[in-house]
Structure 1
Amino acid sequence: MNAFDYWSIAQGALATVVLSLASIVLGVPLGLGLALIRWARIPFANRVVIVYVSLIRSCPAVTLTLLIFFALPQFGLSLDPTPAAILALTISTAAFNCEIWRAALMNFPREQYDAALAFAMPRSLRFRRIVMPQLWRASLPGLVNEMTLQIKATPAVAVIGIVEITRAALRVGARTYDPLPPFVFALLLYGLIVFALIRTQRVLERRRPVEARV
């Protein structure tokens, strides 16, 4: 491998980070919204969310990516590979995030919410000051775990032409006829990305006791 090969795989790492970050930023709040719909048991919407989560969780990311990229043009909506990849990854991670948020909501002490209601605290304030801080702390490990899985799921979007870490390493290995070095380098890049994510989790967890006292 020469410097250009390393640079090619590093560019693939940049694509992996961008795709993962975009889908995480969109998928985490979307999953929370879906979980709140289920928690509130909103008629009809609750059933729609159950079907959505069940269907998406059973669908491989590569199949979902192909479906979005090739099916949407049939309805007059054509997406470039990058937006299609972000949409597919977001739809996928939102379903899993929904269940993580919902598990935390199910364990939330409802009497605290009722007590705030008895003091006529506005709904938005109840959620922001009472529900969300506890919900976030309980959900953080599961959310970070799903984020790491999301990063490792990005090779699925290579089927529509996205060159991420694995695809870039595969190209280098095919050109040099020596696949081991590029895949070892790709493994190191994945490890660095996941390490940075886990490190961020540790920082947030150390800040939690301080925030609780405030």
Structure 2
Amino acid sequence: MTWPAIRTILDGAVVTAMLAAVSILLSLPLGLLLALLRWRRVPVLAGALAAFVSLVRATPFITLVLFVFFILPSAGIQLDPVPAAILALTINTAAFSSEIWRAALQTFSRDQREAAAAFGLSERQIFTRIVFPQIWRANLGPLISEVTILLKCTPAVAVIGVVEITRAAGRVGAETYEPLPPFLVATLIYTALIATLVRGQRVVERRIARRYGVTR
């Protein structure tokens, strides 16, 4: 492969990394917010959010991408390909991560919350000082798994014209009539990105184990 061909794929890798990074930063907090609203059982809102999460989880991701890009403009929301891709990735991952957060909230020790309330802590203090520090540590593995799935979903945004790794590799293969080398390079890049995430997870887990004396 020539350097210009490799450069094309690397440019696609930058786009993929950007899409993943922005979507992660938006979707995980949004998923936590959705989980909290459902956990609090706010009348009407909790049911509406449950229906929304179920609908998003049941929708194939590529269908969600097409909906965001082609259907939302009819409602007056016009998005360019990259913002549309980020929105679709964020909605999809927020829906799935919200179930991870909600499961942790539902199984969190009621005794700890009641003890904290007995010491005069407010609901906000209980969540920020006691609940959240424990549930994010417990959910680190599942959340990283969800992030890797987000990364693997990024090729689907090529249908709306976003040139990420897979589309860039496809273009190079079409131009050179040798599809194998560019897709091997693309595979290596995806592997490196996911390996970086997994490595980061292990580093954080080791630090947690050292700080809290957790044996794994």
Work out whether 1:97 is the aligned partner of 2:100. Answer: no
Aligned residue number for residue 27 of structure 1: 27
Aligned residue number for residue 111 of structure 1: 111
Percent identical pairs in the alignment equals 54
Q: Secondary structure at the match of 1:202?
A: helix
Aligned residue number for residue 193 of structure 1: 193
Deviation at 1:210, TM superposition (A): 4.1
The amino acid of 2:176's aligned partner reads: T
Matches within 5 A, 1:121-200: 121-200=121-200
The amino acid of 1:95's aligned partner reads: A
Structure 1 residue runs without a partner (length 5+): none
The amino acid of 1:172's aligned partner reads: V
Q: Distance in 2 between matches of 1:201 and 1:113?
A: 28
Deviation at 1:208, TM superposition (A): 1.1
Aligned residue number for residue 3 of structure 1: 3
Q: Distance in 2 between matches of 1:209 and 1:141?
A: 14
Aligned residue number for residue 66 of structure 2: 66
Q: Distance in 1 between matches of 2:126 and 2:209?
A: 20
Q: Secondary structure at the match of 1:175?
A: helix
Q: Deviation per CA, 1:124-176, whole angstroms, max 9, x where unpaired?
A: 21111110111001111000000000000001110110000100011111111
The amino acid of 1:191's aligned partner reads: T
Aligned residues: 213
Q: Deviation per CA, 1:89-136, whole angstroms, max 9, x where unpaired?
A: 000000000011111112211110111111111222111111011100
Aligned residue number for residue 48 of structure 1: 48
RMSD: 1.1
Q: Distance in 2 between matches of 1:45 and 1:60?
A: 24
TM-score (norm 2): 0.96
Q: Secondary structure at the match of 1:120?
A: coil
Deviation at 1:212, TM superposition (A): 3.2
Deviation at 1:15, TM superposition (A): 0.5
TM-score (norm 1): 0.97
Structure 2 residue runs without a partner (length 5+): none
Q: Distance in 2 between matches of 1:107 and 1:7?
A: 48
